[in-house]
Amino acid sequence: MDVALTNSIVNTATSLASAKTSDALNVLVLKKALDMQAASAATLIDAMQQSMPQPTLATSGALGTQVNTFA
């Protein structure tokens, strides 16, 4: 058996295994980053909703108390 061929096969197998591990690690880091961004966005939206009170609906008068619809 040719030693150079054996070394080539071993090097190829090692690099493929390393690439799989590296890809899995990169995907895991990406998922963590997306989870952190989602949590930050949810916190920001909650803070905005709490700081901006909702206006009350009109109960009397000509504006906002009647709805005209046509089919």
pLDDT by residue, tens only, the chain of 71 residues: 577 777 787 788 888 777 888 888 899 999 999 999 999 999 999 998 888 877 777 788 777 777 777 76
Indicate whether 60 belongs to any domain: no
- Structural domain of 45: 25-50
Indicate whether 36 belongs to any domain: yes
Indicate whether 71 belongs to any domain: no
Using CA atoms, how far apart are residues 32 and 13, in angstroms rounded to an integer? 29
Using CA atoms, how far apart are residues 41 and 49, in angstroms rounded to an integer? 12
Structurally, the chain folds into a number of domains equal to: 1
Residue 23 near residue 29 (C-beta atoms within 8 A)? no
Indicate whether 38 belongs to any domain: yes
Indicate whether 15 belongs to any domain: no
Indicate whether 44 belongs to any domain: yes
Q: Is the pTM of this model over 0.85?
A: no
Q: What percent of the chain has pLDDT over 90?
A: 30
Indicate whether 31 belongs to any domain: yes
Instruction: Say which residues have a Cβ less than 8 Å from residue 59's Cβ, sequence separation at least 6.
Output: 65
DSSP code of residue 15: H
Using CA atoms, how far apart are residues 25 and 1, in angstroms rounded to an integer? 36
